[in-house]
A = this chain, B = another copy of it.
């Protein structure tokens, strides 16, 4: 079987693939994501195009230094109305972001891309729509105290598989997409590429 390289430093993506029994190793791409996102946004790309482009750019970057390997790139973008919401740099900023999302619906778009020797082979994009309930200030303070800095690694400021579930009144879409990868399509592509048995 061929070798799979995950071109993403996301602990959540690595956890999902490990749990699903996928053999891989991590070689994170070191992209300047914020400036890439800003460029694409200025050019009129929508959230799904941005997620797809970043997933593919990560895979292409790592493919250059991993000849022969199958490289999986992944990226998640949070779209709120006409805005793209980026990761927060501290908990004060994160609390303000959650106050903004409170009581409203946002979309989480996760894209995956497979590349070998610089050639894109496959891609897929999953979209989930998440509606937050109205969060009280005391709830938010207790939530931030319980979760702490670990939230900063997460676009949207929640771990849906954990205490983050308390934030939502309604969710449409795939939980794997929310965690950062459209996993079932990724597994199907890995079967096609010989990484997994059929």
Contacts and interface: CB of A to CB of B under 8 A. Distances in A.
Interface string A159-179: 001110110111100111000
A14 B20 CA distance: 21
Interface residues of A, number: 28
Contacts of A139: 197-198
Contacts of A34: none
A196 interface: yes
Nearest to A171: B184
A42 to B, nearest CB: 36
Nearest to A161: B19
A19 B15 CA distance: 15
Contact of A187 (B19, B21, B165, B174): B165
Query: Which A-B residue pairs are the 9 nearest by beta carbons?
Result: A175-B175, A21-B163, A20-B165, A19-B162, A139-B197, A136-B198, A166-B187, A165-B183, A168-B184
